[in-house]
Amino acid sequence: MPKVLLLESLHHAARAALDADAEVVALDAPDEPVGDDVLAGIEGIVTRGRGQVTDALLARCPALKVVTRAGVGLDNVDRDAAAARGVAVVHVPNALTETVSEHALALALAGRREVVSSARSAREGRWGDRDHFSGESLAGSRVTVVGLGAIGERTRALMVALGAEVTAWNRSPREVHGFEADLDRALSGAEVVSLHVALDDETRGLMNTDRLALLASGAVVVNTARPGVVERNAMLSALEAEHVAVYAVDGFDPEPPPAGDPLLRHPGVIVTPHVAALTGRTYAALCASAVTGTLDVLAGRQPGGGARLAPRP
């Protein structure tokens, strides 16, 4: 049986399927040390979001054939190093579409309708805060969706269904109503921004001081992509100036963040602990697809079950 290194846990059913057809070396933590004697025979690596598949790790796995990311984004896999070694990279690009777009919508509603701060006021007995309530509906709001992959497109459709005035931007043109080819024009005057771009050299720090300044005063920024898409110091300054009212983000950098992190502690920040994709059904299906894709490649087949070969970098 092929030998597979599992950097993070999987759904129990997917793990059972992997155990049935492979010898699994499962780590207790993604950065747990592993000896060269173990890595020498590894033919597959499976990771989720935290396990880093670096050039150094790849170099220690001479028999490696496939790296599988149980998820969409590939920023934790050194794809250039994998390609140079002839190692296939597999991911599951469409498994999270519904779940993450729902989470983005939930965060947008929470920010626009001041759900978190209102709930805190009620719990603490400050019912008079309702006299200063300034929440708005998404219907009629100017929304900009940044990135029109499967998740971004689904989020755009949900916003349109709620009656928002939606502008969309993507690095390559898309034939959708409201598409704007220039990002700065797309962001100008936006009351809600929802981010759905992959994190890479082009998008790191995409939302910087200048771009945040383009938004409407009191804007809500939703980030279910990656924290690195937003310049943290620029966002903190925008929040402190009250130009951005709410920054709603799924995940942080690093994870978990230090308890005293000023961005984490800011009252205008809503943070969820990287759970946008972790509904029970989605997690089970995601892990099952990742295992199927891994075993398919190790058997000399194209990955199936919803898994796909990642585009070459």
Length of the chain in residues, anyone?
Answer: 313
CB 30 within 8 A of CB 70: no
Question: What are the two backbone dihedrals, phi and then psi, of residue 46, each rounded to the nearest 5 degrees?
Answer: -120, 130
CB 18 within 8 A of CB 37: no
- Nearby residues of 18 by Cβ (< 8 Å), 6 or more positions away: 4, 6, 10, 24, 46, 291, 294, 295
Cα 231–chain centre separation: 16
Q: How far apart are CA 216 and CA 66, in angstroms?
A: 46
Calculate the alpha carbon distances from 278 to 51, 99, 218 in Å. Answer: 17, 8, 30
Q: How far apart are CA 194 and CA 196, in angstroms?
A: 7
Annotation says 69 is catalytic: no
Q: Which of 79, 91, 226, 231 is labelled catalytic? A: 226
CB 186 within 8 A of CB 144: yes
Q: Which of 50, 255, 265, 301 is labelled catalytic? A: 255
Annotation says 240 is catalytic: no
Residue 241: how many other CB atoms lie within 10 Å: 11
Q: Which of 274, 281, 301, 308 is labelled catalytic? A: 274
Annotation says 255 is catalytic: yes
Residues acting as catalytic residues: 226, 255, 274
